[in-house]
Structure 1
Amino acid sequence: MQLIISGALPPQSLADETAIHLEKTATLLRRLFEYATPHNHPADQDLTGCTPYEAWLVQRYQFAPVADQAPCAALAPILVPDAPAAAPVWLFQLAHFGLSNSGAHMLTASDIAVTEKESQALYESAAEIFTDTPFTLIGNRPEGWLVAVPAGFSLPSRSPALIASADLAHVWPQEEDYKPLRRLLSELQIAWHHHPVNEARRDRQMPLINGGWLFGGATPAQLSAPATPMPIVIRDLEAAHRQRQWGQWLALLPAVEQKIAGELATALNPQASGNPVTLPVNLILTGDNRWVSLTLEPTPALLKWLPGKRKQWKQWWSQ
């Protein structure tokens, strides 16, 4: 059994404080941490172009990069598994761009709760704008808009989730080669300012959909199908972690722990033959620049007793 909790590892500066809180309010997590064998996996976002959770996902597909491709280039074909095997896959995901005291920032489609109906309406309105650019709209999917790019086009691919935690001044493509892309994004922002979708959002006091982010570039042929089913992914902490809302992050811990308890209880129930599940439990926690894999040896009494030797879990928690 394997579970992933994205956004579960706080930055080093908050590790001690959150560990104290976790010890008091998340008893199950603390016990799991105490008896698990940890393995730390660095994931430098400047090198991967994506979050540690996304870097783990790319590794799962055994991405084989070409030239200077970063792991982020593989996210688009992973999200669109039925794309043609030999063609590069590029995704355009809707977003909100705004200003704050800390500079320009972006909120992802998930952050602002973009609906399929809104995406389709904006897709239809964008078709004419795209015809006057080197880019071509080729499909609207729940994961984003599929886009064909001009021959030879290259972009330092970064995922929307990573961009949403950064100052746009440091990641926005400024080179001359990206001028057509910047012009496209500017025209979409102007065209959508009074679009009915955004007028309705204003009425509901929701962030406007005033742009999007393009990423991808790898082909499905560069991926290998995973040999095991996709693990259970718990993403409740992800947005609060990315937005540095640590009070909210702490408040969400009990609900996350409850989900973990439910999944473990289900996995450890006796099978139809009466034999308990004996597979190891693997818990993966992701943070800013790494993920930690925790392995618990199989035992039918895992939730109650967790037999074995206690480990100093705060050592890896604070790295």
Structure 2
Amino acid sequence: MELIITGALPPASVADETARHLANAAPLLQRLFEHAVAQVHLADPDQTGCTAYEAWLLGQHRFVPDPAQTLCAGLAPILAPGGPADEPVWLFQLAHFGLSQSGAHMLTADDIVVTEQESLALYESAADIFTDTPFVLKVHTPQGWTVGVPDGFTLPSRSPSLIAGADLSHVWPQDDAVKPLRRLLSELQIAWHHHPVNEIRRQSRMPVINGGWLFGGARPEQLSAPERALPFVLRALEAAHRQHQWGHWLAQLPGVEQELTQQLDAALRPELSGNPVTRPVKLILTGTDRWVTLTLEPTPALLKWLPGKRKQWKQWWSQ
């Protein structure tokens, strides 16, 4: 069994505080932490341009970036597969841009719960706007819109999940090459201000969809298919982790533990022949700048909730 829990590793600033609540909020998780062999993998977002989970995912696809590309460039062909192998894939994901005391910020399509119907309606309204720009609106996909960019266009690729909630003045390029993109985004913001989609969202007191984030640039031929099936992904902690809402993060832990219990029960159940399971159990926990792989051998002790020698799990938890 292999399972990944995104947003499961708090940053060092709150690691000790969250650890004190684990015994009550997620006793099974803490027990697993105490008995697993841990391996820490660093993933500096300033270098990768993406979250630790996305860096792990790109590793599974064995993405090899070009010299001028960040690791994040490979996300677009993963999220929007099926294009020509030798053509760069750029993905435009809808978002909400706003102002707060900390500066300009962005909320992702997942954060503001953009429906497929809303995305399609805005996609159709954007077609005319793209016509008068050097960008080409291509295909609508569940993960975003694929976009053709002008020759020579460069953009340091950063994933929406990474920059959401950050001060955009520190991540948005200011050079002349990006001016056409900034102009396009401004035109979309104006056109969508009174769009029926946003009028309905205002009435429902939901954040309006007033722009999007462009990222990617890698070619499908730079990636390979994963060598084995990707693990089950638990994402319940991801939004609270990204938004630094640690009270909400703790409140989500019992639900995560319930799902984890079900997955473990299925994975550790003896095979139909009656033979015990012999494959190790692996949990992958992701945070802001690292992920940790926890390995547990499927011994009878594991089935009895792991009695025995405990490991110093807080050494990697608080790293």
The answer to whether TM tops 0.5 is: yes
SS at 1:77's partner residue? helix
Asked if 1 retains the 8 angstrom alpha-carbon contact of 2:268 and 2:298, the reply is no
1:1-319 alignment runs, 5 A limit: 1-319=1-319
Amino acid corresponding to residue 197 of structure 2 in structure 1: V
Could you tell me whether the CA contact under 8 Å between 1:277 and 1:300 is conserved in 2? no
Q: Name the amino acid aligned to 1:64.
A: V
- Runs (4+) of structure 1 exceeding 3 A deviation are none
8 A Cα contact 1:268 1:300, kept in partner: no
The residue identity in structure 1 corresponding to 2:273 is S
Per-residue CA deviations over 1:220-266 (Å, capped at 9, x if unaligned) read 10001111101010000000001010100011111101111110001
Counterpart code for 2:289 = N
CA deviations on 1:118-160 (whole Å, 9 max, x unpaired) are: 0010000000000111100110000100101111111000000
Amino acid at match of 1:203: Q
Q: In the alignment, is the contact (CA less than 8 A) between 2:92 and 2:214 conserved in 1?
A: yes
- In the superposition, the TM-score normalised over structure 2's length comes to 0.98
Q: Is 1:192–1:210's contact at 8 Å kept on the other side of the alignment?
A: yes
Q: Which letter does structure 2 place at the counterpart of 1:279?
A: R
Distance 2:246 2:268 in 1: 32
Provide the rounded CA distance (Å) in 1 between the counterparts of 2:123 and 2:5: 32
Deviations 1:174-194 (A, max 9, x none): 111100000000000000000
Matched residues in 2 for 1:203 and 1:58: separation? 39
Deviates more, 1:198-207 or 1:18-27: 18-27
RMSD of aligned residue pairs (Cα, Å): 1.0
Deviations 1:187-229 (A, max 9, x none): 0000000000000111111100000000000011000111110
Quick one: distance in 2 between partners of 1:195 and 1:44?
A: 39
| Partner SS state of residue 233, structure 1 | strand
C-alpha separation between the residues in 1 aligned to 2:125 and 2:20? 51
Q: How many residues align?
A: 319
Shift of 1:171: 0.8
- When residues 280 and 308 of structure 1 are mapped into structure 2, their CA distance, relative to the original with a 3 A threshold, is farther
Paired residue secondary structure (2:285): strand
Q: CA contact under 8 A between 2:2 and 2:283: conserved in structure 1?
A: yes
CA distance in 2, matches of 1:306, 1:137: 54
Q: CA deviation digits over 1:6-34, x for unaligned, max 9?
A: 10011111111111100233110011001
More deviation, 256-265/297-306: 297-306
User: What TM-score, normalized by structure 1, do the two folds share?
Assistant: 0.98
For 1:32 and 1:213, locate their aligned partners in 2 and report how far apart those are by CA, in whole Å.
38
Shift in Å at residue 102 of structure 1?
1.3
| Separation in 1, partners of 2:6, 2:309 | 27
Which consecutive unaligned segments of at least 5 residues does structure 1 have? none
Q: Which runs of 5+ in 2 are unaligned?
A: none
Which stretch of the first structure deviates more once superposed, 164-173 or 300-309?
A: 300-309
Shift of 1:307: 4.9
Distance apart, 1:308 and its partner CA: 4.9
Q: Deviations over 1:72-101 (max 9, x none)?
A: 000000112212111100000000000111
Q: Could you tell which deviates more after superposition, 189-198 or 278-287? A: 278-287
How far the C-alpha of 1:303 sits from its partner, in A, is: 4.0
| 1:165 to partner: Cα distance | 3.3
